[in-house]
Structure 1
Amino acid sequence: MKQRDKQEREAAASKVDVLNEALPWIHRSAGKTFVIKYGGSAMENPELCRQVVADIEMLKLLGIRIVLVHGGGKAISAHVKALGLPVQFKGGLRVTDDATMEAVREVLVGKVNQDLVWALNEYGHNAVGISGADGKTLKAEQIDPELGRVGRIREVDPSLIETILEDGYIPVVATVGCAPDGFFNINADVAAGKIAEALGADKLIYLTDVDGLYGDVNDEDTLIQTLTRDETHMLLDSGELDGGMLPKIRSIAEALDAGVSEVVILNGTYPHSLLLEIFTDAGCGTMFTRK
Structure 2
Amino acid sequence: MEEREMGELQQALTKAEVLTEALPWINKMRGKTIVVKYGGSAMEDEQLMTQVVGDIELLKLMGMRVVLVHGGGKAISAMLKQLNLPVKFKDGLRVTDDATMEAVQEVLIGKVNQKLVWSLNEYGHNAVGISGADGKTLKAAPISPELGRVGHIREVSPELIETILDDDYIPVIASVACGPDGFFNVNADEAAAAVAEALHADKLIYLTDVDGLLADVNDKESLIRSLTKTETREILDSGELDGGMVPKIRSILEAMDRGVSEVVILNGKAPHSLLLEIFTDAGVGTLFTQD
Task: Name the residue aligned to 1:228.
Answer: 228
SS in structure 2 opposite 1:215? coil
Inter-partner Cα distance in structure 2 for 1:4 and 1:173: 47
Q: What secondary structure is seen at the aligned counterpart in 2 of 1:232?
A: helix
Partner residue of 2:11? 11
Map of 2:79 onto structure 1: 79
TM-score (norm 1): 0.98
Instruction: List 4+ stretches of structure 1 deviating above 4 A.
Output: none
Q: Per-residue displacement from partner, 1:248-281 (whole Å, max 9, x unpaired)? A: 0000011111111110000000000000111011
2:89 aligned residue: 89
SS at structure 2 position matched to 1:129: strand
Matched, 1:111 2:108: no
For normalisation by structure 2, the TM-score amounts to 0.98
Q: How far apart are 1:244 and its partner, in Å?
A: 1.4
Please say if residues 37 and 68 of structure 2, whose CA atoms lie closer than 8 Å, have aligned partners that are also in contact. Answer: yes
Aligned ranges 1:250-289 → 2 under 5 Å: 250-289=250-289
1:212 correspondence with 2:201: no
Structure 1 vs Structure 2: percent identity of aligned residues? 73
C-alpha displacement at 1:12, in angstroms? 1.3
Contact 2:57/2:125, CA 8 A, preserved across alignment: no
Gaps of 5+ in 2: none
Looking at structure 2, the residues matched to 244 and 191 of structure 1 have their Cα atoms a distance apart, in angstroms, of 16
Alignment of 1:20-39 (within 5 A): 20-39=20-39
Q: Which moved more, 1:172-181 or 1:50-59?
A: 172-181
Any conservation in 2 of the 1:140–1:152 contact (CA below 8 Å)? yes
8 A contact 1:91–1:242 mirrored in 2: no
Q: 1: CA distance between counterparts of 2:7 and 2:175?
A: 50
Offset from partner CA, 1:200-233 (integer Å, 9 cap, x none): 1000000000000001101122110000011111
SS in 2 for 1:144: coil
Once the 2 structures are TM-superposed, how far is the Cα of residue 125 of structure 1 from its aligned partner? 3.9
| Paired residue type of 1:118 | W
- Report whether the alignment pairs 1:180 with 2:147: no
Residues 141 and 152, structure 1, Cα contact 8 Å, conserved in 2: yes
Alpha-carbon contact 2:142-2:179 (below 8 Å) kept: no
- Equivalent residues in 2 for 1:121-160, closer than 5 Å: 121-160=121-160
Q: Which runs of 5+ in 1 are unaligned?
A: none
Shift of 1:6: 2.7
Shift of 1:124: 1.6
Report the CA distance between 1:9 and its aligned residue.
2.1
Quote the offset at 1:237 in angstroms. 1.3
- Distance between the aligned counterparts of 2:45 and 2:65, measured in 1? 25
- CA shift, 1:70, in A, is 0.2
Pick which of 97-106 and 228-237 moved more: 228-237
Paired amino acid for 1:192: A
How far apart, CA to CA, are the structure 2 residues paired with 1:68 and 1:60?
A: 11
Q: CA deviation at 1:59?
A: 0.3
CA distance in 2, matches of 1:213, 1:137: 30
RMSD value, Cα: 0.9
Distance in 2 between residues matched to 1:119 and 1:75, nearest whole Å: 17
Instruction: Assess if the C-alpha contact under 8 Å between 2:141 and 2:180 holds in 1.
Output: no
Paired residues of 2:263 and 2:287 also in contact (CA < 8 A): yes
Measure the CA separation in 2 of the matches of 1:288 and 1:117.
29
